[in-house]
Amino acid sequence: MDGAMDTDHQTFTPGPETQRAFRDALGRFATGVTIVTTQTQDGPIAITANSFASLSLDPPLVLWSPAKASARFRPFAEAKHFAIHVLAADQAALCSEVAKDARRFRPGDLTENERGVPLIESALAHFECARDAVHDGGDHVIVVGRVERVRMREGEPLLFLQGQFGGFRALG
């Protein structure tokens, strides 16, 4: 029954009138937090994304999904090379700053690889990618990247759940 509610659950059909509830339901899934970077004619640009996933080990492919409505959409949908950075638990402030300002970086925050892609060296991991494909995905596109190089370090990941940042606590 649409909109039915018992003491533990709410059931609805996703649509314009239930968009907030649908978003809240999606928010029940904890995700890691990433910053995607690329180079533009005007310098490095960044966008936050929690729509990152591994796709294939052979060949090494990952995907992420920028929103078409984002002012930053075009540079990322068209980028031939980009990097996806997995943030550490202590990088919530960096994530919030980049979410507000695509060019927020201070001197020393970034290095560049041989293709000119900006890299956040302090990230927990980064995946240097060449665009493999871009697919329509409703109000987003799905960008598939072929991973050319990976860099990682030890540390705790930054997680995002129900609109808030948090960390990971192992059970047992």
Query: pLDDT per residue over 45-90, tens digit each?
Result: 999 998 899 999 999 999 999 999 999 999 999 999 999 999 999 9
pLDDT in tens, 11-38: 888 889 999 888 888 788 888 899 999 9
- Which pTM was predicted? 0.88
For the chain, domain boundaries = 1-30, 33-155
CATH topology classification for 33-155: Pnp Oxidase; Chain A (2.30.110)
SS (HEC) of the chain: CCCCECCCCECCCCCHHHHHHHHHHHCCCCEECEEEEEEECCEEEEEEECCCEEEECCCCEEEECCECCCCCHHHHHHCCEEEEEECEHHHHHHHHHHHHCCCCCCCCCEEECCCCCEEECCCCEEEEEEEEEEEEECCEEEEEEEEEEEEECCCCECEEECCEEECCCCCC
